[in-house]
Structure 1
């Protein structure tokens, strides 16, 4: 049985009538029994048509061996829909024939056209996906609420941005105090996630719907920037972490929370990984000060790094040292020479030199450890000297200096991005600008330290004591000192760069 299908959306003189379409289909199906299906007054933008759906039911029952149409667009004007229909026809061994075109799956040319159609269908799928993604991130950058689970401590309220109705978070008093308590407890190094879970559950503080807390849920809250009153320090933290920030440093005034999105250049959806993610200032007010939030967030980050590096006992620098050329971690290797241990780029090792040429020389572990320890002692002495002076209690210039520092680092990053495409003449100017910006950055760092009113904490005193008695402290304590003081150590072409956390 052949199915003859005809569709006409509008009845006018310029469109071919359903009867004319069926006449042409009958000529193509000459010698076969036919069953006719007619949809009058229906558009080809989708497949929600009564006679078409009836025909598809008959196909699934096995009653149809071929479908004949006047033209391809009678079935659908969507390449995507048409491809899906063809897939179903092939699944039930049903041929497809177009009376006026070269679509006849009983012939080689028709089968070739089917393949071409599939290519266009794939192109349309990818185009639709890209349009959806672009629209999503366009709305993200404009601070629109993008759905999802409402964070604990907030509730949803109607809101308008640029004349467009959306929603935003407002504080939920019944939950926000619990969030502040969680952060204050975790800011104390003596309290672990397990300790906080036990405290909350024992005191009858429950999650939504009366459920008990667990460390995974606490970890999500402590990592989420939706709670922070974002200032320039928060901007600097995410900038150092490789996060793409959609707002300028001047916008980080210590009031708004932040949205953190997956980003278009990363497949990593874990909240603990920040490189390649998108950060946008949100229209709601944060709950936690930047100082406490950063203290907790850095502690979460250090816990993860310690977990990753606890297996390697070959050097207390493991996990902190990276290749300055490719960004991959440097790992410990051993030799039979007098120096014994040395660092090697993990990408160069994995690709046998094809992916990265390495750091430009042999990095012996013992020598690097001695150098880093020396720099740590110098840094602690410098910091202690600056702090022991007459610090001002409050200084409105401090935040201004931090904004200038963030702008300076942003300009340096922009110049570095231009290096691969720069000519020799352009490189001369880039180097001059980088040198000036580096001097400006050093000067700003020094002024910020002088104006900072943060007292020397007990933790700082412990670290200073550890640095003075380095040979007697444990391997784990050495790792904790490094995690507290240093973000990353980059080595490339004989140059060692230390990114300090203070």
Structure 2
């Protein structure tokens, strides 16, 4: 066993007195004689406040804890490690993740005992209460502002810009032309796919300089912001699902629109009609490798399509490089191949790894390009994780300042917009981040009830698996353990698993 001992004082006067030496001596003795731990290391932050976790020794200690170096974390009092309940709750959850026993000497919080665990859980309950109350207060303030037609920050739609004063977004002429073109082309061709091809041919790009996709065009055409309607509180905080319409805030003629109301409604009626016509074709389709296959030549996702019906009434899934759907040149083979051609190879590779016949190697962290203050630098996913967490905490502290410290509304909105812009940039970079899973993915196979086939059969029978395992279940399993499958000329080149390991097959 080894204990991390954390001590802190926040003022110079405390440093000059005997506060640090007293904490140090007291905790060393407690570690040796009460916990019976002779191996310990002291982390000391002198002159740092406990209002947040921006303390060098604390951060260094947590990094060491994440590396599995300690079994205990010992503090003199709970407020020495944090005066912020939210920060403490987050730290404690992380300690539990790494099986670290937390001990506060003076308050007798020892999570190795039932009473100590109970007391800490009570603390966490109040932390959760504080978090929810703060969220409710912030939401109430934002809804009140939105009801008055005031902008609450966030991502400004393409075609608009936010002034330095933090007022409601106004039209950005250089982008408004592209938005008007999108609506005109859609009304003419009545197909987002055709509009996408035309925009790519004309060299029209998104605000980020990327090619337009179907999804981006749909979001633009569906957004009432472009006809001058302000819509707020229609999605949840994580932007993952749409709320019921009675919770929305809709203010007509709130600002200057780029698109006329009549044209917006005509385009949306076309989209509604197209959705009704195509929904019957999409219903029930399950493509096992949709979103997993990537063209090794151009790097784009391989899109899934249904082939012609067979005599038995089923339609095979076919895949092709999405560059061809976008009208972009790709030097890979134009060959469109069916799912059954690659499924046996992938299933067999999973079985071979499960039975110890193949070795997979750890891939280094993906290197990403991230723009910092206008300069492009290469970073890893770990760096992006840290940056996102930093800005999330900054946003939480900003909300507290606005609600409780008399911060002006103007300063609040400007700072909030800046932080949310950074978070959106980081989110865009991390779209393709691999999921983290246990290295032993057989546990997952067991969970999905398909481990017997993978563990015992020398030759995997693809048809048997498909017949006996629901395709939805199999798709969930594949998406859980696999991050990416690279395809070269219709054949599997490599499989990158969700834990970062790579299996080369060519």
TM-score, length-scaled by structure 1:
0.44
Larger RCO (CA within 8 A; separation ≥ 6): 2
TM-score, length-scaled by structure 2:
0.44
